[in-house]
């Protein structure tokens, strides 16, 4: 059985009024269209129908995925027709999906396949209506109470036997414009069954829908933990810098940058949570431009990498290990500075300190060390 996915991303988004068409708006750190491309990547082939002037945005949104882009028509029906023309003739089933519904889950696809395996010509996910339905006049006066028995809200993807749907489109008058593919299929007498839908498949129509769908899909975000450690040797000086705070001390810390072991450990923890290497890879000690550098740059860079991936820092936690200086008096300032650089509220930033009971190199006060962990919420 070959299954081909056809994603319709042809909307101009007149009702969306956001920054460009809704199919390219960012949701969970990637364009809305990309969610569907990824969810349907197990299909033998994916065709994406976009307006002719949006190929560049579509290319960027589909980067790295095996898709065929084609130009859509003036209506949804015309766009699907354009996409169907590219479906290989030996295809068994075709799955037609609106890019504005990014929350495709594999269990929905399994229900659609099961309906076709049971003999349906087509199948679509649908949800019952929860609200009462009223018919109104032009001034919104209720003229009738409509009966919602047997009415369903239909979503996409809609799955069809390809030869049957191709014949249904061929039989449709040339300039017809129908709401969806079930309308085309049933007009040709095909038998279409509805299966259980998913609220995550809600359609993005208005700008506020983005946040709503993102919240619904947010249940899928994965907590990813990262850890970091660093140590610096004491040397000549009259202060140390920890978490960006200048702390007077009998010694300084030796290091290529400002030797802020706290922020170095935190930087590594954040990089670890997104599997992005370590601080030495991003800021090589051999590179003279980092000599004496303020570690705020390292930490801010790691935080921006996390956000570039559409991820969110849930919290960070840091332990300083040293006999001296005393950390307690500076804890609040260290917490506030770290929260500021990471764009977190201070109650998401733990700052702790301990001694090693005079044991080992830390006990002999040869230097100080820091251990950090970070929790990052990532999209799969
Ligand atoms: Mg270091």
pLDDT digits 0-9 by tens, 229-265: 999 999 999 999 999 999 999 999 999 889 999 999 9
Per-residue model confidence (pLDDT) at position 20: 75
Give me ligand 1 centre to Cα 233, in Å: 10
Ligand 1 centroid–CA 230 distance in Å is 5
pLDDT the model gives residue 13: 58
285 alpha carbon to ligand 1 midpoint, in Å? 10
> Residue 14's pLDDT is what?
61
Q: How far is the CA of 61 from the centre of ligand 1 (A)?
A: 38
Q: Can you give the pLDDT at residue 92? A: 97
pLDDT value, residue 19:
64
Give the model's pLDDT for residue 18.
58
Residues of the chain with pLDDT under 70: 11-19, 219-220
Are the C-beta atoms of 18 and 210 separated by less than 8 Å? Answer: yes
**C-alpha of residue 343 to centroid of ligand 1, in Å:** 22
- Model confidence, pTM: 0.65
Task: List, in sequence order, every beta strand (DSSP E) within the chain.
Answer: 3-8, 26-27, 30-31, 45-50, 68-71, 93-98, 122-128, 133-136, 142-146, 152-154, 158-161, 192-196, 222-235, 239-242, 245-248, 252-254, 312-321, 349-354, 367-378
Q: Per the structure block, which two tokens stand in for 322?
A: 């040293």
pLDDT at 17: 61
List CB contacts of 348: < 8 A, sequence separation 6 or more.
313, 314, 315, 316, 339, 342
User: What is the whole-number distance in angstroms between the Cα of residue 265 and the centre of ligand 1?
Assistant: 7
What is the rounded CA–CA span in Å between residue 378 and residue 218? 9
The confidence score (pLDDT) of residue 214 equals 85
Distance 278 CA to ligand 1 centre (A): 11
On whether the CB atoms of residues 102 and 26 are closer than 8 A, the answer is no
Q: Give the pLDDT of residue 183.
A: 97
Ligand 1 centre and the CA of 231: distance in Å?
Answer: 6
């Amino acid at each position: 059985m070959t299954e081909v996915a056809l994603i319709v991303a042809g909307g101009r988004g007149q009702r969306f009024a956001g920054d460009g068409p809704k199919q390219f708006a960012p949701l969970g750190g990637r364009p809305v269209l990309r969610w569907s491309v990824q969810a349907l990547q197990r299909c033998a082939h994916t065709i994406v129908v976009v307006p002719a002037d949006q190929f560049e945005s579509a290319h960027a949104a589909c980067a790295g995925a095996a898709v065929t882009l084609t130009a859509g028509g003036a209506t949804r029906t015309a766009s699907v027709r354009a996409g169907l023309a590219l479906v290989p003739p030996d295809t068994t089933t075709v799955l037609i999906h609106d890019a504005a519904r990014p929350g495709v889950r594999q269990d929905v696809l399994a229900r659609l396949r099961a309906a076709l395996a049971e003999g349906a010509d087509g199948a679509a996910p649908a949800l019952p209506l929860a609200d009462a339905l009223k018919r109104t006049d032009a001034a919104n006066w209720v003229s009738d109470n409509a009966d919602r028995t047997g009415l369903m809200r239909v979503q996409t993807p809609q799955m069809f036997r390809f030869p049957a749907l191709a014949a249904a489109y061929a039989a449709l008058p040339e300039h017809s414009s129908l709401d969806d593919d079930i309308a085309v299929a049933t007009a040709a007498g095909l038998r279409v069954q509805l299966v259980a839908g998913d609220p995550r498949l809600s359609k993005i129509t208005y700008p506020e829908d983005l946040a709503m769908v993102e919240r619904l899909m947010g249940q899928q975000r994965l907590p990813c933990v990262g850890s970091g450690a660093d140590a610096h040797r004491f040397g000549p000086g009259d202060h140390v810098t920890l978490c960006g705070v200048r702390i007077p001390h009998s010694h300084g810390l030796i290091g290529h940058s400002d030797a802020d072991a706290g922020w170095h450990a935190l930087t590594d923890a954040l990089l670890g949570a997104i599997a992005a290497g370590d601080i030495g890879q991003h800021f090589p000690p051999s590179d003279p431009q980092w000599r004496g550098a303020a570690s705020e740059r390292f930490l801010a860079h790691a935080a921006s990498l996390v956000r570039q991936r559409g991820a969110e820092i849930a919290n960070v936690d840091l332990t300083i290990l040293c006999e001296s200086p005393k950390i307690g008096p500076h804890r609040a300032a260290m917490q506030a500075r770290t929260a500021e650089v990471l764009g977190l509220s201070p109650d998401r930033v733990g700052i702790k300190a301990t001694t090693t009971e005079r044991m080992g190199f830390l006990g002999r006060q040869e230097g100080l060390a820091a251990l950090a962990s970070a929790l990052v919420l990532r999209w799969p």
